Amino acid sequence: MPTMVRIIDRRFDSKNKSAVNRQRFFRRFKQQIRKAVADAIDGRSIRDVDNGESVSIPTKDISEPQFGLGRGGEWETVFSGNDQFAAGDEVDRPLGGGGGSGKGKASNEGEGEDDFVFQLSREEFLDVFFDDLALPNLVKTQLAAIPEYKLQRAGFTSSGTPANINIVRSLRGALGRRLAIGSPYSADLREAQDALAELRKKHPDSHPDIQDLLEKIESLRAKIEGIPFIDKVDLRYNNRIRVPKPSTRAVMFCVMDVSGSMDEEKKATAKRFFMLLYLFLTRNYEKIEVVFIRHHTVAKEVDEEDFFHSRESGGTVVSSALELMKDIIRERYATSLWNIYGAQASDGDNWENDSPRCRELLAEGILPFVQHFAYIEITPGEPQNLWREYEKLQGSFGNFAMQRIEALANIYPVFRELFKKTSA
């Protein structure tokens, strides 16, 4: 006789069960969700990276374990014969018939399940996308003049709203007031009571002063009892003041090569990297300023629209961009107040005589004043002359990093390597 198994879920049913279950689902299928997000990025524009996404997980990855009865012992079964196949023949895979998911031709037989599809919100999508990323060495902080404030406890005040009343402090003040006002009366009362006791010892029958003392004692008790238990002057309220929130001020320089040697594919790769970087900065750091510099033979500071969409091109003199970056730092961003970061994207094909100049500019005019500088060389071939010059700086400066991008698929791994979290 088969045995019936019953499983009863006695876990606490939280009022936020839906949110709790969703987070549990994310933890369980973290790897599948990460892969789905990476696949989604390949099929969309970087400009749309901060939107939500419909994520599909194969049914086989979310199948649950089930209890079943094993088939043991000896048993026989009869198969119908056929006149088309013999033992050892290989059967071709059936054509069409996607078994769900909307693929293949229609059929009047067979069944299957669609992949499990759920919607990631914008925040959930970016949390997966930016998992474990942070700008390195962000250590300098200061109180900046920003419009955001926080409330901070600052003692007590004698006026306020009933919601902010401090009961303990008010009762303490009331007790002190009653003691201060009633102390003289209490002292007179004790003296009158002592005099009355002495007088009654000497004159147990009667004495004219006894009645006077009794009236005085009654009067003093009435004055003490007439002191109010709590008065308006006793009330104390919790005082809160607005203070500016400490914030981190940082500036990120985006330097992109738009010379003739940078073909459309390389420019598209650079644009994707910088769009990813820009989104990362604006999401994780509130007080971040971004400076866009594009260059060929001449460098220009441009806005975001021109940085990504202008079609101007020319020769290659990388030092012009580094000179401009150095000048902007000196004029607008004091190193004692700002955390300065830079990222440079190029194919490395620079004018031969200019590459040593670029190395000197970095070593003397930029790296001593920045928190971090990353150089990204976009080329599928051998490293170019700019890369070889920059390699000479790696052993001398710990705030300098270099990576190469050979294809679009390398953008995200390179980005993670350049801006991964480091221990304090």
Residue spans of the domains in the chain: they are 17-61+118-131, 163-239, 249-419
Token pair for 29: 């299928």
CA dihedral 134, 135, 140, 145 (to 10 degrees): -80
Percent of the chain at pLDDT exceeding 70: 65
Task: Select from 295, 298, 252 the least CA-distant residue to 275.
Answer: 252
Residue 301 has pLDDT above 60, yes or no: yes
Task: Select from 312, 314, 308, 300 the least CA-distant residue to 259.
Answer: 314
What burial letters (b/e) apply to 138-168, b meaning 16+ CB within 10 Å? eeeeeeeeeeeeeeeeeebeeebeeeeebee
**Tokens 């086989």 identify what position?**
60
CA distance 237 to 239: 6
What tens digit of pLDDT does each residue of 96-147 get?
544 444 444 454 444 555 566 767 776 777 677 666 555 555 433 332 334 4
Q: What was the pLDDT predicted at 234?
A: 87
Task: Look up residue 267 and give its amino acid.
Answer: K
What tens digit of pLDDT does each residue of 317-345 get?
889 999 999 999 999 988 877 888 898 99
Q: What's the angle, vertex CA 205, arms to CA 200 and CA 211, rounded to 5?
A: 60
Q: What was the pLDDT predicted at 241?
A: 81
> How many alpha carbons lie under 13 Å from residue 111 in its C-beta half-sphere?
0
Fold of 249-419: Rossmann fold (3.40.50)
Around Cβ 40, how many Cβ atoms within 10 Å?
A: 21
311 versus 422: which is more confidently predicted? 311
The whole-chain average pLDDT of the chain stands at: 75
153 versus 83: which is more confidently predicted? 153
Percent of the chain at pLDDT exceeding 90: 8
Q: What was the pLDDT predicted at 360?
A: 92
Task: Select from 146, 369, 178, 389 the least CA-distant residue to 246.
Answer: 146
Q: Give helix 30-42 / helix 17-28 axis angle, nearest 10°.
A: 80
116: left (phi over 0), alpha (psi -120 to 50) or beta: beta
Q: What was the pLDDT predicted at 82?
A: 63
308 versus 403: which is more confidently predicted? 403
